[in-house]
Amino acid sequence: MPDKLYVLNLIVAVIFYLPVRKIQASQVTQGVTSYGVLFGLSVLSEPLPLTPESLSVSINSAKQCLHLQWTVHNFGYHQELKMVFQIQISRFKASNVIWMENYRTTVTRNQVLHWSWESELPLECAIHFVRIRTMVDDARIPVPRFWSNWSSWEKADAQSSLGDHPLYVFPKDKLVEEGSDVTICYISRNHQDNISCYLEDVLTYGKQLDQSVRAFELKNVSFVRKTGTNFYCQGQGVTEGVVLFVSEVLEEPKDFSCETRDLKTLTCTWDPGDDTGLIQMPSYTLFESFSGKKTLCKHRNRCDWQVTQDSQEMYNFTLVAENYFRKRSVSILFNLVHGVHPVAPYNLFPKNVSATNATMTWKVHSIGNNSALLCQLQLLGEGKVIQQHNISVRVNGEYLLSELEPDTEYMARVHCAYADHFWKWSELISQNFTTAEAAPSEAPDVWRDVMFVSGHPTVTLFWKPLSKVHTHGKILSYNVVVENLDEPSSLEVLSVPAPANSTKVTLNQSSYQIHVTAHNSAGPSPASTVAISGHPGNENVEEGRINGTEDGFPMSWKPQSRNATGYVVEWCDGPQNLPCVPQWRNLGPTTTGTVISSGAFRPGVRYTFRIYEISTKRMARLLEKKTGYLEELAPSYNPQVVPNNLTSHSFTLSWKDYPTESQTGFIQGYYVYLKSKAGEKCHRGFEKTVLPDNSVCCKYTIDNPDQKTFVMKDLQPESVYEFLVTPYTSAGEGPLDDFRKVTTPDEYSHILIHIILPMIFCVLVIMIACYLKSQWLKDKCYPDIPDPYKSSVLSLIKSKENPHITIMNVNDCVPDAIEVVNKPEGSKIQFTGTRKSPTETKGTKPAYLDLLPTEKNYSGPGPCICFENFTYNQAASDLGYCGHFPVTPQAPHCQLGPLTSPENLLKTLEQNYMNSLGEIPAGEANLNYVSQLASPMSGDKESPPTNPPEPALCSEYKMQMAIPLGLASPPPSENSSLSSTTLLDPGEHYH
């Protein structure tokens, strides 16, 4: 039935609609389409307009976008058509087209179309115009196809919403991605040209778009800080700016993987890469394609996924990272049971710990229906894995560790994995434990140093600390057992507390065995035995030389006995001048050579090695001595050279040997240097050489290190020579900066020496004799001044008025007389005062001054006693008597009455002294001290006094006074008075 209706309709259409109006080309315009309907099919019929209508433009300032919206009407009977829209955008004016784009889409009837355009220039900086036209691009519409008419220009003006501020900068708070280009502009309301703009304080130049707008293109912007990059403009006191927020490029997640720890929850992890620097972090979404589920991740590097109970084993995860600018995604295909990562075990403990065994126990977390786990137990010693065991565990694990070392700290650690499908080990857990102590397993390494004092051996025992492997605990002490082989019952036991490593034992002349054991809390070690003979062995063996290398000192020796049980090489690490702590090395009986190395060996230090052979009785016998240097050095100083036997043509140099401990190498000989200021030629045996200071000298080589003297011959008399003696080793010679000078004498100097030396000897003998007899000479030639306290005169002074006076006091005495002795010889002292004639000053007899009162009616005792100090007046002592006072019977010289006071007397004498001072010849005045006790006498040496002196009982010892001889007036007469007396100047001598 439907087929018949279809045929009927076809016939009707052919009859009534077969004539089709031809479409003229001139009648076809853009936007017009002809179509007809033939049984519901579209065909060309009548032209209909398809121009876009209702075009509107809106501005999105935040995203700097223009949003377009329009519609297309007159679809006719079509429900949808494929169309292309051509869009033009102009800036500043409609004719300035800056963008044109074709937008293709399928349009339905009455559909509102949308399209957005993002501007690189901020929309606020320019007015934009938009228009659009369309063309049908559907295969059902035959060609040719034509564009419709343009719509009218729509204006988009963002500046209209701005205020009256003089300066604006756009865009505000722009968010850009690192490496992109950005355009910034400013709008000046005052049309000023003196506006400067800066990017992070760097002046930036832009392009003028019109009289009020300037644009700045920033290429490839970089990330500066999270708070943004500053851009600002200044002009006419106004500053305006914006902040660019630059984001680093979002990275694709790396190392994306998923696993489960309990078959209930999946955990996917990844490396998000570097932070983009945005305040808003990227979002991460986990999508599973098989189930179509997705979840927003709460962490930027991890996401959890709950496993459902539908027994799904395969998962196809896609991780999407997204931020403001872009998206990144990564996928993984995951099998649930193949990605099991168990949780770490717990409660790991040791139990039943002994010296060699320990049992470890631990627990695990169940997986699923108590699935089996493979656990690996590791034992670590000193940071290294020494044992490793695999154990299958469901709930609790246990394993016995054996073959452990006593008193050793170990670490046990365990981790587990899914036994059905191994994916990865769980985290490790660990536990430390220490095994119990055991007795030391090895005897101490013992050596001895034997010294014989008064025929008795003194043995110093040394032992090396046991290694950690053999101590099996903390060593508490060392036991030393001294066994006398001649008296087996005699044992001496010493206990040496640790950590001491030596002890000293004094023995007699018997043979001994000494046993040393180390003790800890578990017991003693095996004993180490050394044998000591009571008699010194042969220490005088030949000493050989060895040369050190980078590896040490290689040495070898020849065995002397077939029964040797081993050899010991002994040495000291330090120099020979320091106390020696012996070092030794035990070697097997078949060893005849070794290399001794030590970190303490230093170049330029002599080391001595002694090689001992150990007998079956543990007795040590010295085989060889070897001496050498790790590296020989040049001598550091020269010997002290003494020149002697100096003659006019030769002298001898001699020096002492070097101490071996101070030698920096084996002395092979000496160089003798000789320099002459006269520039003489080198003598036979010498060679000319140039010193480091470019001076030329002669050099002689002594190749015998035992020679310590050298004779310089064929020298010139009265010449200056410089010499130097320096040793040399295989590494070089000593320093060349200590030359000494010597001057050869003339040929006749030895004759003068034979004469001068005896004379010098005689003078020295005389000087020594005079020194020894100096006291005797002083007593004879220069006697001491008498001590007033010891004077015998004091015994005569018994004054009734003052019986306590025992010494002479100048202020208490009045002189009786002054003796002045004038000599005619000598020149006279010149004075400016009045001078007397030569006849007046010339005289042969001394003059006397009478200082006592001359009263006519005086009556008193007889003459007084005279006391003279002959030390001060040798001339007076020659007279043989002390009284030189002319005395008259009417005027006695001593009285009991009061005398003139010393102060008045001195003043009177001072005036006469100054008047007569100029009349005294220089050098003619002598001093004579006359006591007030002196008896008056007359005459001189040739005329003895007529009246011999008599003791005066009334006299009193008052004073001694020194007056230069010649200053006194002539002998006093009866009428003389004190006013005519002349004394010394007070600045001269008063006593």
pLDDT of res. 585 = 94
Residue 390 has pLDDT above 70, yes or no: yes
Residue 24 has pLDDT above 80, yes or no: no
Q: Is the dihedral of CA 552, 556, 561, 564 positive or negative?
A: positive
Facing residues of 594 across strands?
Answer: 555
pLDDT of res. 486 = 86
User: Which of 17-21, 37-41, 575-579, 836-840 ranks highest by mean pLDDT?
Assistant: 575-579
What is the Cα–Cα distance from 748 to 222, expressed in whole angstroms?
102
273/898: higher pLDDT:
273
Confidence of residue 792 (pLDDT cuts 50, 70, 90): low
Facing residues of 623 across strands?
Answer: none
**Contact (Cβ atoms closer than 8 angstroms) between residue 962 and residue 926:** no
Confidence of residue 754 (pLDDT cuts 50, 70, 90): confident
Q: What would you report as the CA-atom Rg of the chain, rounded to the nearest whole angstrom?
A: 69
Residue 426 has pLDDT above 80, yes or no: yes
Residue 922 has pLDDT above 50, yes or no: no
Residue 654 has pLDDT above 90, yes or no: yes
Through-space distance between the first and last CA atoms of the chain, rounded to whole angstroms: 190
pLDDT of res. 989 = 39
Confidence of residue 795 (pLDDT cuts 50, 70, 90): low
Report the alpha-carbon angle 380-385-391, nearest 5: 90
What is the per-residue DSSP string for 455-472?
TEEEEEEEEEPPPHHHH-
Residue 379 has pLDDT above 60, yes or no: yes
Residue 633 has pLDDT above 90, yes or no: yes
What is the Cα–Cα distance from 774 to 218, expressed in whole angstroms?
116
What is the Cα–Cα distance from 598 to 608, expressed in whole angstroms?
14
Q: Specify the range with the lowest mean pLDDT, choosing from 289-303, 771-785, 811-825.
A: 811-825
607-624 average pLDDT score: 91
pLDDT of res. 350 = 95
pLDDT of res. 853 = 43
pLDDT of res. 874 = 42
What is the Cα–Cα distance from 296 to 294, expressed in whole angstroms?
7
pLDDT in tens, 870-909: 444 444 434 443 444 444 444 344 333 344 444 454 444 4
981/74: higher pLDDT:
74
Query: Phi and psi of 895, rounded to 5°?
Result: -145, 160
CA distances from residue 659 to 153, 544, 629 in whole angstroms, order as listed: 115, 18, 15
pLDDT of res. 85 = 93
798-802 average pLDDT score: 48
What SS3 class is residue 922? coil
pLDDT of res. 142 = 75
Assigned token pair, 588: 């097997």
pTM value? 0.48
What SS3 class is residue 644? strand
pLDDT of res. 728 = 94
Task: Identify whether 499 is preceded by a cis peptide bond (ω within 30 of 0).
Answer: yes
Q: Which residues lie below 8 Å from residue 79, measured CB to CB, with a gap of 6+?
A: 108, 109
Confidence of residue 434 (pLDDT cuts 50, 70, 90): very high
Q: What is the CB neighbour count within 10 angstroms for residue 528?
A: 19
Q: Name the residue type at position 921.
A: P
579-607 average pLDDT score: 91
pLDDT in tens, 190-206: 776 688 899 988 899 88
pLDDT of res. 276 = 79
User: Which of 305-319, 376-390, 848-862, 913-927 ranks highest by mean pLDDT?
Assistant: 376-390
Confidence of residue 939 (pLDDT cuts 50, 70, 90): very low
What is the per-residue DSSP string for 214-263?
EEEEE-S-----TT-EEEEEEETTEEEEEEEEEEPPPPPPEEEEEEESSS
pLDDT of res. 684 = 87
Residue 271 has pLDDT above 90, yes or no: yes
Q: Name the residue type at position 843.
A: G
pLDDT of res. 687 = 92
Q: Specify the range with the lowest mean pLDDT, choosing from 100-104, 129-133, 908-912.
A: 908-912
Residue 322 has pLDDT above 60, yes or no: yes
pLDDT in tens, 125-143: 889 999 999 988 887 777 7
Q: Are strands 213-218 and 182-188 parallel, antiparallel or unpaired?
A: antiparallel
Residue 838 has pLDDT above 60, yes or no: no
Confidence of residue 855 (pLDDT cuts 50, 70, 90): very low
674-679 average pLDDT score: 81
What is the Cα–Cα distance from 530 to 482, expressed in whole angstroms?
10
What is the Cα–Cα distance from 978 to 961, expressed in whole angstroms?
16
pLDDT of res. 946 = 42
Q: Specify the range with the lowest mean pLDDT, choosing from 358-362, 460-464, 814-818, 910-914.
A: 910-914
Residue 286 has pLDDT above 90, yes or no: yes
pLDDT of res. 562 = 83
Residue 14 has pLDDT above 60, yes or no: no
Residue 355 has pLDDT above 80, yes or no: yes
Confidence of residue 102 (pLDDT cuts 50, 70, 90): very high
347/911: higher pLDDT:
347
Q: In what order do the strands lie in the sheet with 202-204?
A: 174-177, 238-247, 229-235, 196-199, 202-204
What is the Cα–Cα distance from 127 to 645, expressed in whole angstroms?
121
Q: DSSP class of residue 780? A: H
Q: What does pLDDT average to over the chain?
A: 77
What is the Cα–Cα distance from 641 to 710, expressed in whole angstroms?
10
pLDDT of res. 658 = 77
Q: DSSP class of residue 48? A: -
What residue ranges define each of the domains in the chain, with the CATH number in brackets?
Answer: 52-157 (2.60.40.10), 167-247 (2.60.40.10), 254-335 (2.60.40.10), 346-434 (2.60.40.10), 446-629 (2.60.40.10), 641-749 (2.60.40.10)
498-506 average pLDDT score: 92
Q: Specify the range with the lowest mean pLDDT, choosing from 591-600, 791-800, 835-844.
A: 835-844
Facing residues of 399 across strands?
Answer: 360
pLDDT in tens, 52-72: 888 899 998 888 899 999 988
